[in-house]
Amino acid sequence: MKQFTNLFLQLDRTTKTNEKVELLKAYFLSAPEEDKIWALALFTGRRPPRPIKSSQVQEWALEQAGIPQWLYRESYSSVGDMAETISLLLPASESTSEKTLSEWFRDFVTLAKKTDDEKKSFLISAWRQLSPYEIFVFNKLMMGSFRIGVSQTLVVRAVSEVTNQEAAVVTHRVMGHWDPMTTTFKELIHAENLADQHSKPYPFYLAYAIEDELDNLGQPTEWFAEWKWDGIRAQIIFRNNELYIWSRGEELVTDKFPELHAFADFLPDGTVLDGEILCFSNERPLPFNVLQTRIGRKNVTKKILQEAPVALIAYDLLELEGVDIRKQPQEYRRQALENLYNSTPTNPAFRLSKLLDFQNWDELKALHTQSRENTAEGFMIKRKAAAYQTGRKKGDWWKWKVDPLSIDAVLIYAQKGSGRRAELYTDYTFAVWDQGKLIPFAKAYSGLTDAEIRRVDHFVKNNILEKFGPVRTVKPKLVFEIGFEGINASTRHKSGIAVRFPRMLRWREDKPAEEADTLDNLKQILNGYK
Amino acid sequence: MAGLLTFTSSSIYCAAANVHIDPWKPADFAIITHAHSDHAKPGCKHYLAHKDSASILRLRLGNDISLQTVDYGEKFSINGVQFSLHPAGHVIGSAQIRVEHKGEVWVASGDYKVQDDYFSAAFEPVRCHTFITESTFGLPIYKWRPQHEVMNDIREWWKENQLQDKASVLMGYALGKMQRLVKNLQPFDQKVFAHGAIFNVNEQLRAAGYDLPYIPRVTSDIDKKEYRGALILGTSSSLNTPWLKKFEPYSTGYCSGWMAVRGAKNRRSVDRGFVLSDHADWNELNWAVAETGAERVYVTHGYTDTFARWLNEKDIEAHEVKTSYGDEEEDVLPEEVVA
C-alpha cells in the first residue's frame, strides 16, 4: 500500500507525460506481483466492488473527527473530493501498516458480506494505521472513485515498455473482460494464447480537429468526406457466432441496443464494423439527447423501440472474414464495407455512411454549411490511403465541426468547482432576459483561462447576494458568450430549452448585462435548428 | 452603547479615540497590525505600528509617511483610551491591538499564527472581552504539521533536485514566508538567490539591523550555470512567468497553507506544494479564541460564516464581519523599489 500510495503521490506531483510513464514503469518493475494486476485494474478504470456505502464512510469519519455534518459539507466544498476531505479531517494515525494493495482489496471483497458493526471497526482500525495520504488513497480505492491524471494510453505505454510487448497488443489485452480477483498480471499480459479474446474490440482510431486550411490537405481526390454524426461511436463485433457492441468508452453495450442484435443474423463470421449509433425517426437522425435519455435507462421499453429505434451508420470495416484489415488503406476498407453492405439483406438498423461528392475544396466548403440541416456536426475527412490507427493521431483523419451556436448570457449563480478548482467559483449558471427577468438556461464550467477564472472568482466573492447551500446568487453584471452544440425544447427546464455542451466562448467585458440576449433570441435559434 | 470598536465601511474603528485599525480607505490616524498590503494601505495622515514594522512600512508606503512606533506591551493613551500592541506571530512586527476603555477590553488580532517561526515574535494570547479574529484557514481540513518537518521536506526536495542538476525554485510571499524559510533552512551549503522583490525586503530588514543572511538577487548577468543545484527564492506571483526560464531545468515548490488541498496545488501547476502558512490553522484558531477568554468574537476575512457558526455552536457568541482583508495573493512589492 505504501508503494502504491507513493506512486500516486509522485504521479500527482508531475504534469509531464514522460515522468509519469517512468514512474509507472518503476512501479510495474518493482511492485509485488499480486499488486500489479490491481494497479492495472485501477488505472484502466475497473472499479473495485464498493464494500461500504459512502454515507456510512462519511458518518463514521465525522464521528472520528468530532465535527458536525454541516461543517463536513463546508469542508467538502473547499476540497471537492470526499476521500480527500475525510483524510484531512481524521485525527493523526497512531501506527503504521505493511499491508499490500491486493491484501486490502481482498479484505474489501470479504467485507461486503459483513455486518455494519464489523465494517465500522474494520474501517476505523484501517484509518488508525494509515498516514493521511495513505488514507486518501485507501478511501479512493474503497469508494471506487479512483481517478488520477493517468490515461490508459500512458499505462499501456509503461506496461508495454516494461514487458517488451507491442503497445497495440497490450491495449488489446487490457481492454475487455477480466477480473483482478481471478486474473493474474502474468496471465493477462504475458500469456501466449488467450482463450477468450473474441469479444475484444480494436482500439478506436480518433480524429483531431482540423487546424489548417482545407486547401493545404493536398489533392481533393486523395480524400473522402462524410457527415460527422452526433451519436455513440461503436464497434460491432461478430465472431464465433457471438455479437458484441462496444462503445468508444470501452464499455460493452450490447444489451443497450436490441435493435442491433439482428446483425448476428446477417454478418459473416469474423466481422468488425466501426460506426456511429444514432436514434432515428422517419428516416432522420434524432438529436443526441434522445439517445442520451435512452442510454440512462435500465430497460429499453417497447415504446422507445417504436418511437426512436437506433441504427448503426457504418463507416469502417476493421475485420473481414476473421482477418484484421486495419493496415489496408481506407479506400480498400471502404470498398470491402460497401461489398459487405450490398451483400446483406436490407435492414433499417444497418446503414452505410454516405461519401460526399465533391470535385474541389470549395464545393466541400459549401456543403459544410448544410451540416445542421442534415443533423450532422460537420464532416469527417479521411485520407484514402489511411490505415486504421490506434488512438488519437494527426494526419489522416480530421474532424471539421460546424461553429457552435452562441448567445450572450448573464452570470447569475456561481458554485465552487471540484478537484483542482475546489477553492474557486468556477461553475456558473447563465440566464437570458425575458420580460425584464433573467431566466436561467445553461450551466457552464469551461472555456475561460485560469487568469479569467480568478477574476470572475474575485467578482463573485465580492458580489454575493444570497447563499443557497453551495450556490451563490451573484449580482447580474457579467456577460459571457455561451456556445453550444445543439438546442432542444425541454419541459424540464424553466426556460423551456435545453442546450447541449454549453461552454463559455468568451467574456463579453464590453457588454453591459442589460444588453445580453433574450429568451426570444434563444427560441429563434431553436426554431432555426429544427 | 455602541461597542468600543465598530466595523465601518473603511476600517475597524475606535470612536472613543477616533482611531482606525488597518483602514482600507485613507484615515487621519491609523494603527497598523502588520505591513502586508491588505492591512497597510497608503494615504493615511498618521500611522502607528510596531517598531519592527517600520522599515517595511516605509518601503511600501514611502519614506515620508508620518509614522510613530511602539514596542510590544508598551501602553499608550489616545483620548483616554488605552492601547498596547502584542505579538501576533504572523510576520515581523505583526501585532494584535489591545484596546481598553472603562474596563472593557477588545483585541484586534489582524493576521496571526501560533507556531513560532523564529523570526517574528511568537504569538501571545491576550485576555479580553471581545476578540477579533481572522479565519483564513477556518476549516477543520487545515491542520499544520510542525514547522521543522516541513523544512525537512523542503531540504529533501532541494537535495533531490541537486542530484538531477536542477534548480529548486521555492515560492511564497516576499514578506514573512521568505524570511521564515531563510531563518529555518540555513545554514546553506549550496548557492541561494532571491527574486528582486524578496531581495528588497531582506535588504531593508538587514539594513534595519535584523539578523538575516545576505542572499544575492537574481540578475540577468549571472551565469546560468550558477543556478544548477541552487535554491532560488521566488515571489508567489513568479509562478508560470517567463522569469523562471533562466533557471531551466528546474523544479518548482510553493509554500502556502492552501497547499494542504490537492486541487489547490494542482491548479497552480506547481511541482511540489509545501503546507506552510503564516496563519493559524483550525486547531490554533480554536485554541487562540479559548486562550483569550473572550465572551464575544468577531470573525473577519476567511471562512467567516463557518468559523462564526462553529463558535456559536460551542456557546461562544460570534459574528461574521465584512472587511477588505485577505487579499494577500496580490501582495507584490514592486521590484524596482530601491532598498
Beta bridge partners of A235: A246, A274
Of the spans A14-18, A459-463, A487-491, which averages the highest pLDDT? A459-463
Q: Which of A65, A79, A450 has its CB closest to that of B261?
A: A79
Q: Among B94, B133, B229, B236, which Cα is nearest to B177's? A: B236
Q: Which of A88, A418, A420 has its CB closest to that of B141?
A: A88
- DSSP letter for A201, please: P
Reduced DSSP (H G I as helix, E B as strand, rest coil) percent helix, strand, coil of chain B, to 5: 25, 25, 50
What pLDDT score was predicted for residue B335? 36
Asked if the Cβ–Cβ distance from B264 to A450 is below 8 Å, we say no
Reported as type and span, the H/E element at residue A497 is strand A497-500
DSSP string, A456-470: HHHHHHH-EEEEETT
Residue B86 in grid coordinates? 502584542
Residues A93 and B177: their CA atoms lie apart, in Å, by 29
What pLDDT score was predicted for residue A197? 65
Residue A224 in grid coordinates? 473522402
Residues B108 and B20: their CA atoms lie apart, in Å, by 11
What pLDDT score was predicted for residue A183? 87
Other beta carbons within 10 Å of A82: 18
pLDDT band at A419 (very low <50, low <70, confident <90, very high): low
Higher pLDDT, A404 or A390: A390
Distance of CA B209 to the CA centre of its chain: 20
Q: Does B237 touch chain A (CB under 8 A)?
A: no
Rounded to the nearest angstrom, the minimum Cα separation between A337 and chain B is 47
Higher pLDDT, A305 or A399: A399
What pLDDT score was predicted for residue A254? 82
Q: For A226-247, how does the pLDDT look when each residue is reduced to its tens digit (9 = 90+)? A: 999 988 999 999 998 889 888 8
Q: Mark A450-472 as b/e (b = at least 16 C-beta within 10 Å).
A: eeebeebbebbeebeeeeeeeeb
Whether the predicted pLDDT of A195 surpasses 50: no
Distance of CA B173 to the CA centre of its chain: 8
Could you list the beta-strand ranges (E) of A64-204: none
Residues B204 and B222: their CA atoms lie apart, in Å, by 22
- DSSP letter for B9, please: S
Whether the predicted pLDDT of A293 surpasses 80: no
Whether the predicted pLDDT of A380 surpasses 50: yes
Q: Among A213, A212, A172, which Cα is nearest to A194's? A: A172
What pLDDT score was predicted for residue B1? 42
What percentage of residues in chain A have a pLDDT greater than 70? 94
Interface probe for A, chosen from B256, B258, B262 (most Cβ of A below 10 Å), is B262
Q: What count of residues does chain B have?
A: 339
Which amino acid does the sequence have at A280? F
What pLDDT score was predicted for residue A379? 93
What pLDDT score was predicted for residue B145? 94
Reported as type and span, the H/E element at residue B250 is strand B250-255
Residue B91 in grid coordinates? 510576520
Q: For A442-478, how does the pLDDT look when each residue is reduced to its tens digit (9 = 90+)? A: 998 888 888 888 899 999 988 888 877 678 899 999 9
Q: Interface pTM (ipTM) of the complex?
A: 0.90
What pLDDT score was predicted for residue B331? 40
B80 exposure class (CB count in 10 Å sphere: 0-12, 13-18, 19+): exposed
Asked if the Cβ–Cβ distance from B269 to A15 is below 8 Å, we say yes
A485 exposure class (CB count in 10 Å sphere: 0-12, 13-18, 19+): middle
- Which of A36, A119, A228, A256 is catalytic? The answer is A228
What pLDDT score was predicted for residue B336? 33
Higher pLDDT, A304 or A100: A100
The alpha helices in A379-516, defined as continuous H runs, are: 450-462
Give me the residues of chain B with pLDDT under 70, please.
1-2, 327-339
Question: Are B278 and B117 a contacting pair, CB within 8 Å?
Answer: yes
| Least trusted range by pLDDT, from A165-179, A200-214, B159-173 | A165-179
Distance of CA B266 to the CA centre of its chain: 23
Residues A143 and A145: their CA atoms lie apart, in Å, by 6
Residue A215 in grid coordinates? 486547401
Other beta carbons within 10 Å of B204: 20
Asked if the Cβ–Cβ distance from A79 to B263 is below 8 Å, we say yes
Q: Which of A12, A15, A71 has its CB closest to that of B140?
A: A71
A228 tagged catalytic: yes
Residue B211 in grid coordinates? 539578523
- A-chain residues within 8 Å CB-CB of B267? 420-421, 423-424, 450
**C-alpha distances out from residue B270 to A12, B156, B232, B263, Å:** 10, 17, 15, 11
Chain A contacts in chain B segment 133-162 (CB below 8 A):
139-143
pLDDT band at A250 (very low <50, low <70, confident <90, very high): low
Place of cell 514594522: B53
What pLDDT score was predicted for residue A256? 84
